[in-house]
Structure 1
Amino acid sequence: MTYLPQGYQLQKGAIKDRKLLVKFMELTYQELFPQRSDFTHLSNTVDQYLSPTTPLWWVTVSGEIIAGLWMGNAIDQVSGDRYGHIFLIYVTPEHRRQGIATALIQVAEDWVITRGDRRLGLQVFESNQPALNLYDNLGFKTQSRLMFKSL
């Protein structure tokens, strides 16, 4: 079932899409951290986690890929339960605010339910207010806060 607005199509990605996934990750970080220019380390993350058990979906319009969703697994450190985790959700700027990210969240929820998991998690940067608003509106709640101290 697709939840996308009219004209958009959902297609399953594959490991062979590694380069495109890295590109979408770099676009995400370039938008959030424009003062930085080197995100080559993201390819290491993809190499470490992309596998047949970490599915990927792309959204296309007129044959162009304009959004992506990459899922994975995580373990809740409190309960020990496995849950589905969103590694990446990205929509190109010109296609935002049209319901595409919301539709991709529904795809993620369907995947989690199909696997028998009961929770969906994600990490979002505190500076990404549009994403925070979306996730709040979709019912996500903060469970923990990732903090760092520079040494």
Structure 2
Amino acid sequence: MIAVKMSLPDGYQQRKGSHIDQTLLIDFMCKTYQEFFPEQKKFSHLADTVAQYFSDATPLWWIEFKKKPIGCLWMGSGVDQVTGQKYGHIFLVYISPEHRRQGLATVLLKQAEMWAKSQGNFQLGLQVFLDNQPAINLYQNFGFQSQSLLMVKPLG
């Protein structure tokens, strides 16, 4: 699997994830959702998501600080519903708040782009919460553009 060798700040290193990282991936997914939905206390369904989608076809990378994971990238594939072409999809990109604004997410986005290209994909996609303006800014600066808007209506 391709690993991007990019300059990380002192004390940081990047490593490829493996099947033994599933529990850690679930923890990082929970951190992501807890950050934006602090009123929700239970995210046990995320373990089901990982169980369903985690495989050799959905690679994982970590950024560690002093050998402790502080960021991750989980990739997969999607099908563009307009063109029918397969594309690289970022399931999760996360950097712990105290380690942000150091270029670490950019390293992971470059890793995502390299992986997607190595798979012959024509584009890279992701979903971001509308109230996560710092992430939206990062993605736009990286060249992402809005293509659709997911809308939901509570029924209860």
TM-score calculated relative to the size of structure 2:
0.94
* Contact 1:58 1:66 (C-alpha < 8 Å) held by counterparts: yes
- Give the aligned residue type for 2:88: G
1:108 & 1:72 partners in 2: Cα distance? 10
1:32 & 1:75 partners in 2: Cα distance? 27
Could you tell me which residue of structure 1 aligns to residue 105 of structure 2? 101
In the alignment, which of 26, 39, 43 is matched to residue 43 of structure 2?
39
In the alignment, which of 70, 80, 84 is matched to residue 66 of structure 1?
70
Could you tell me which residue of structure 1 aligns to residue 86 of structure 2? 82
- Give the aligned residue type for 1:2: K
Q: CA offsets per residue over residues 8-63 of structure 1, 9 Å max, x none?
A: 21100012110000000000000011111111111111011001100000011211
* Aligned-residue CA RMSD (Å): 0.9
Over the matched positions of the two proteins, sequence identity in percent amounts to 53
* Contact 2:26 2:46 (C-alpha < 8 Å) held by counterparts: yes
Could you tell me which residue of structure 1 aligns to residue 95 of structure 2? 91
1:136 & 1:54 partners in 2: Cα distance? 24
Q: CA offsets per residue over residues 53-103 of structure 1, 9 Å max, x none?
A: 000000112111110000001000000000000000010111100000011
Could you tell me which residue of structure 1 aligns to residue 54 of structure 2? 50
- After TM superposition, where is structure 1 displaced by more than 4 Å over at least 4 residues in a row? none
In the alignment, which of 132, 141, 146 is matched to residue 142 of structure 1?
146
2:64 & 2:24 partners in 1: Cα distance? 13
* Contact 1:4 1:99 (C-alpha < 8 Å) held by counterparts: no
Equivalenced residue count is 151
Segments of 5+ residues of structure 2 without an aligned counterpart are none
In the alignment, which of 105, 115, 118 is matched to residue 114 of structure 1?
118
Segments of 5+ residues of structure 1 without an aligned counterpart are none
